[in-house]
């Protein structure tokens, strides 16, 4: 009996210590998720009492052409930005993995954009660089090349935003660099004895060795890309860019929630976004299980 009381007392102390965390999880994460799901079945604009309308918001979603436009733009952005960012991060990681004097300084310098990349100030700087009379077009003009309207043309606007995402490659680079450090040098030495060149070593040793890191980076960057918001919202002043060519899904959701105050409809949009991200993650997980064998 005394041992049981002592155990209960220890459990009580443990629960009391994690109580602030549990309260925070329930108040700021779990309850908002539940509330959002309930609001998705209502007509609510922050002023009236929520009116239950069933699945009307979801039906409206699939009849809304702007919804399909936002989905198309978002998937296009994901297919442009994620592969480009992964490839660029891998190239930089391969360079920084070389045994060169002062390489630690270069690693720090290359990681700085990821530290600053999420700030509004960097988005404003990017806008200043790529406007019609900005620094990029001035640089091109010095070589006799006429620059484009990078942010004012539907043809280039989304590509310009994707470049900003690629520029924030630091986190992916660090993951790749950690993976490269884990590949045994004996494998490269054995391959060299067998007469393998640099390209053969890269294909048959480096790529298989970093495949788990590749899978992780692709998954995380894809999820982040679906939620891209701050930079395009800042650059295009809360709008979807020229002819809505940069109307990413989260911007479209934000407009309905905080511009038009369609809280019920925006809640339905948020759950549709969850389904899109979860579906994409499941596809990536299936591909990983199909083509990646950790036992190797």
Phi-psi region of 282 (alpha: psi -120 to 50; beta: other; left: phi over 0): alpha
* Class of 64-291 in CATH: mainly alpha
Mark out the alpha helices in 26-119 (DSSP H runs). Answer: 31-39, 56-61, 65-96, 103-116
Per-residue tens of pLDDT for the chain, all 296 residues = 566 666 666 778 878 888 888 888 888 888 888 999 999 999 998 888 899 999 999 999 999 999 999 999 999 999 999 999 999 999 989 988 887 777 777 777 767 766 665 567 778 888 889 988 888 998 888 888 888 889 988 999 999 999 988 888 888 888 998 899 899 889 888 988 888 888 998 998 899 889 989 999 999 999 999 999 988 999 998 888 888 899 999 999 999 999 999 999 999 999 999 999 999 999 998 888 776 655 54
| Extents of the domains making up the chain | 2-39, 64-291
Q: Report DSSP letters for 272-284, one per residue.
A: HHHHHHHHHHHHH
Strand partners, 43: 51
| Predicted model pTM | 0.86
- Whole-number Å distance between alpha carbons of 80 and 273: 19
Q: What is the spatial distance between Cα 283 and Cα 189, in angstroms, rounded to a whole number? A: 37
Quick one: which H or E segment has residue 21? helix 2-25
- Which burial class, exposed, middle or buried, applies to 48 when counting CB atoms under 10 A from its CB (0-12, 13-18, 19+)? exposed
Instruction: Kindly report the backbone phi and psi dihedral angles of residue 51, in degrees, each rounded to the nearest multiple of 5, phi listed first.
Output: -110, 125
Closest residue by Cα to residue 228 from 111, 77, 123, 84: 77
At 42, is the secondary structure helix, strand, or coil?
strand
237: left (phi over 0), alpha (psi -120 to 50) or beta: left
């Amino acid at each position: 009996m005394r041992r049981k009381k002592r155990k209960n007392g220890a459990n009580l102390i443990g629960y009391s210590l994690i109580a602030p965390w549990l309260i925070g999880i329930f108040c700021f994460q779990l309850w908002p998720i539940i509330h959002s799901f309930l609001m998705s079945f209502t007509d609510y604009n922050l002023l009236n009492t929520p009116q239950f309308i069933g699945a009307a918001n979801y039906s409206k979603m699939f009849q809304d052409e702007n919804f399909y436009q936002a989905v198309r733009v978002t998937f296009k952005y994901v297919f442009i930005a994620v592969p480009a960012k992964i490839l660029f991060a891998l190239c930089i990681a391969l360079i920084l993995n070389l045994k060169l004097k002062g390489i630690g300084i270069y690693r720090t310098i290359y990681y700085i954009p990821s530290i600053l990349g999420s700030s509004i100030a960097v988005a404003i700087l990017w806008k200043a660089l790529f406007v019609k009379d900005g620094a990029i077009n001035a640089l091109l003009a010095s070589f006799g090349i006429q620059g484009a309207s990078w942010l004012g043309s539907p043809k280039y606007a989304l590509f310009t935003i994707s470049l900003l995402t690629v520029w924030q490659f630091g986190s992916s680079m660090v993951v790749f660099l950690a993976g490269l450090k884990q590949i045994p040098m004996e494998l490269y030495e054995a391959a060299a004895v067998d007469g393998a060149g640099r390209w053969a070593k890269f294909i048959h040793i480096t790529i298989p060795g970093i495949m788990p890191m590749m899978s992780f980076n692709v998954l995380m960057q894809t999820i982040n890309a679906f939620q891209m918001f701050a930079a395009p919202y800042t650059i295009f002043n809360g709008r979807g860019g020229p002819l809505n060519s940069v109307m990413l899904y989260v911007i479209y959701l934000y407009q309905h929630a905080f511009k038009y105050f369609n809280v019920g409809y925006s809640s339905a949009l948020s759950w549709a976004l969850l389904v899109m991200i979860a579906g994409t993650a499941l596809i990536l997980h299936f591909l990983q299980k199909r083509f990646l064998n950790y036992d190797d």
